[in-house]
Chain A
């Protein structure tokens, strides 16, 4: 599975959009890009995943670069409840997810 690089931390104001970047320059053609988040004292929570095309769901949007070497998770309107560690994972197997350290998102009122 491809290694991912994410900023250690980011900060956002409440009710503003948040763009969380992820670099995965060694991604293979069959790797899916998964995003999970982990709220304090909780288990990881699935956010979104995609292969090549941009994806939208009720939680977020995933924008995937044309060369697939990077992606961005977009939270359209951050709330205090979105404060969490966000993990970007490239997975070929689908099960041995390599979570890494993720990005710690702070949302301020």
Chain B
């Protein structure tokens, strides 16, 4: 596709339910990132993939959060046993190559609301 695509755009779930958020990066992009953004704040890093390998997951808040990118393209961020504090905008980004000298392209995000 033309840009990074995330689905669903909006998700309302009950506390305790599991949710899976999907990210479809720009075709051919090697690196994929997940961020979380609270209202009025800048995005906060969660995790990062190069191809299918999860290179850094230090930003995941706790073990209820996990992510995968099994074929090096589409990625899924899963939150188990959701809590109200998980409510936020979840943003995915991708870049053509890895490293510092590159630009990231962000998707429109998934707005998660836990009730």
Interface residues of A (CB under 8 A from B): 30-32, 34, 36, 38, 42-46, 49, 51, 85, 87, 91-102
Main secondary structure of the interface of B (DSSP, over half): loop
Q: Does B108 contact A (CB under 8 A)?
A: yes
CB distance from A20 to the nearest CB of B (A): 15
Q: List 18 A-B contacts (CB under 8 A).
A: A34-B103, A36-B104, A43-B106, A44-B91, A46-B104, A49-B101, A87-B42, A92-B100, A93-B56, A93-B100, A94-B98, A94-B100, A95-B45, A95-B56, A95-B98, A99-B42, A100-B42, A101-B41
CB distance from B2 to the nearest CB of A (A): 14
Q: Is the CB of A91 within 8 A of B106?
A: no
Q: Does B102 contact A (CB under 8 A)?
A: yes
Main secondary structure of the interface of A (DSSP, over half): loop
Complex CA–CA separation, A42 to B59 (angstroms):
22
Which chain B residues border A45 with CB–CB below 8 Å?
106
- B33, B45, B100, B102: most-surrounded residue (chain A CB, <10 A): B100
Closest CB pairs A-B (n = 10)? A99-B42, A43-B106, A94-B100, A46-B103, A96-B45, A95-B48, A32-B100, A44-B106, A94-B99, A99-B43
